[in-house]
Chain A
Amino acid sequence: MASRGSQYQWSARGFIAPGVILVAVLLYLPLLWTTFLSFTEYNGLGDPDWIGLGNFAEMFEDPGFIGSLLNTLLWVVGTLLIPVGIGLALALLTWNLPGGVWLRVPFLIPYALSGIGVGLIWSFILSSNGALDQALGAFGITETPRWLVDAPLNTVVMIIAAAWQGVGVNALLFTIGLNSIPKEPLEAARVDGATGGRLFTSILWPMLRPLTAVVVGLSIVASLKTFDIVLSMTKGGPGRVSETLALTMYKETFVNSDYGLGSAIAVFLTIVTMIAAILYLREQLSKKHEI
């Protein structure tokens, strides 16, 4: 058996090589270069100058960066509460419901839109005297806030726009989870008279825990990278008040040509994402052991 296994080693290397080479050259090499640049002062001309942790120190002294960091945290929290919560509620509502597949469609449409598409629609709705203000005006509310101008309201409304987009896929994931719950304990619980809230807290929620960890993990990682919607709706402004880390990185790098600082922000964002991802993987692995 061992000799048969090793018989195909050259062939196996050939099959895996294209994937490894493409990923190594186009993803890992740039990754290493960014990590190196984060310790340097560099604007694309001449050679990078090593300045150690200088960029990281500069980062945390910059109120714009701190604001961007806080906005990103707001995005993480908001994206956890709204799309994950509503997604779960939707999955429960459509579960075992005749026509549930069709009733889910309205929530899935926004998911297929691009971030810029979502931003375009919501900028239109939220512009001053836009669709929302007109609707509120019809109810006699004329004193409306400047949705996309006042901070932190502008970040909150952008989180709602992102939630509008993201709910459907979470509902879909939770539905897959609900459908994979074994029938026996459910039937047993029903026979014992558990319905509604009891059924949810005693059976469904514990059984959905591993999947919830996945959905939450994906949401955290995705929200940390928030870029498209903010670029589309406020460009991080007015000033820098609605920037997220991903946008700050982009601006420092490609607008201000501060390659070192931009790289340092990218590294910082990566470390934060890694910590989130590791926590999420740990949950995943412990789930495997239970089964």
Chain B
Amino acid sequence: MSRILRTTVLIVFGVIWLLPVYLLLVNAAKSPLTFTSTTSWVPTDFSLFGNMAEALQLSGLGDSVLSTLLYALVSPAIAVLVGAAAGFAIVALRLKHGFAWFVVIFGGTVFPLQMVLLPLFDGYSRVGLFDTQFGMILIYTAISIPFSAFVMRNFFTGVAHNVFEAAVLDGATTWRIFIRLYLPMASSALVAIFILQATFVWNDLLLGLTLSQSDDVRPIVTTLAGMQSTYGGAQLSTVLAAGVLVSLPTVVLFLFTQKFFARGLALGQY
């Protein structure tokens, strides 16, 4: 197919693909006064920021934003390090039965989340972790570890073992080799995993729904789901603005890191 035809087809489909985003933005920007559900395609005014400010007051969305930021930064950061340490132990330190241990860690991500929800809810309630930020960080970390270990093991497999041996000859301890040599070497993979997992945590609904209830613990998407079923009518534009607010960080992050992300994914494949 010719270049021009391909480009045209892609542009037409691209525009169609963006229509829902257009509708979201246009209607999220309508002030509750001018908002009607019967003229969705026509922009009326631009009150997006006012609506967002309004949305932050509803259902404690503002509190949710802060706690979700905490979860999306801390948990993937820990998971990346823990996963890298596991990969380091298996590949560089040649842990006995390393592959079996890898399967144990990676197996943690194979089954659906539904398998752990109820015991987590039950267990968290018993030990006082239910509806706490610490409890949320803990589970988001654990969920992110298997994928992190998977990518890091693959990454370190590509590193020649005499890099490790040379460092040993220089008298470095394993801890030092890990921190000073292996981690810096893997920075692109670490960032790729971090971005993917941070996006996952930011967009999580199910764990938030199950393990939290108060405004300052509940993650943002769970709060949005609650808003969607609580508010309608004239307040719909405020809810849509909340949707924009919730979606903006991941969309921006993803677009800025698209190429990098593709490379990270490619790394993860081999």
Contacts and interface: CB of A to CB of B under 8 A. Distances in A.
Interface string B24-65: 100100000000011111000000000000000000000000
B7 A103 contact: yes
B137 to A, nearest CB: 11
A100 B7 CA distance: 8
Contacts of B89: 11-16
Interface string B190-229: 0000000001001101100110000000000100110011
Interface stretch (A53-61, A63-71, A77-85, A168-176): A168-176
B20 interface: yes
Given A19-B86, A26-B139, A97-B3, A12 B94 contact: yes
B90 A16 contact: yes
B262 to A, nearest CB: 6
B79 to A, nearest CB: 9
A87 interface: no
Given A28-B108, A231-B205, A172 B262 contact: yes
A286 interface: no
A98 interface: yes
B266 interface: yes
Nearest to B83: A19
Interface stretch (A139-147, A150-158, A260-268): A260-268
B118 A253 contact: yes
Question: What is the size category of the interface that chain A forms with chain B?
Answer: 35 or more
B174 A175 contact: no
Interface in B82-139: 82-83, 85-86, 88-90, 93-96, 98, 101, 104-105, 108, 110-123, 138-139
Contact of A232 (B225, B247, B251): B225
A227 B112 CA distance: 11
A46 interface: no
B246 A117 contact: yes
A121 B27 CA distance: 10
A232 B205 CA distance: 10
A19 B149 contact: yes
B130 to A, nearest CB: 13
B236 interface: yes
Interface in A152-211: 164, 167, 172-173, 175-176, 180, 196
Nearest to B125: A44
B154 interface: no
B202 to A, nearest CB: 7
Contacts of B254: 108-109, 111-112
Interface residues of B, number: 92
Contact of A15 (B27, B88, B221, B225): B88
A28 B253 CA distance: 32
B145 interface: yes
Nearest to A22: B142
Given A18-B82, A34-B115, A112 B250 contact: yes
Given A31-B116, A106-B18, A114 B236 contact: no
Main secondary structure of the interface of B (DSSP, over half): helix
Contact of B266 (A18, A106, A114, A176): A176
B30 to A, nearest CB: 12
Contact of A135 (B11, B41, B115, B145): B41
Given A108-B254, A250-B206, 19 more contacts: A9-B95, A13-B95, A15-B89, A19-B86, A23-B146, A27-B143, A28-B108, A35-B115, A44-B122, A93-B6, A100-B10, A109-B254, A115-B203, A117-B221, A123-B228, A124-B240, A176-B262, A232-B228, A273-B110
A109 B228 contact: no
Interface string B236-270: 10011001001100110111001100100110010
A26 B105 contact: no
22 contacts: A9-B93, A12-B95, A20-B104, A30-B119, A34-B115, A97-B10, A106-B13, A107-B14, A108-B255, A109-B255, A110-B21, A113-B247, A116-B243, A120-B24, A127-B37, A129-B38, A131-B23, A131-B40, A134-B39, A134-B40, A172-B265, A266-B114
A107 B21 CA distance: 11
Contacts of A41: none
Contacts of B39: 134
Top 6 nearest A-B pairs by Cβ distance? A30-B119, A15-B89, A26-B142, A12-B93, A114-B203, A106-B14
B142 A23 contact: yes
A113 B86 contact: no
B95 A131 contact: no
A174 B149 CA distance: 24
B181 interface: no
A283 interface: no
Contact of A259 (B7, B118, B145): B118
Nearest to B39: A134
Contacts of A107: 13-14, 17
B166 interface: no
Nearest to A175: B262
B96 A22 contact: no
Contacts of B10: 90, 93-94, 97, 100, 103
Contact of A22 (B18, B93, B145): B145
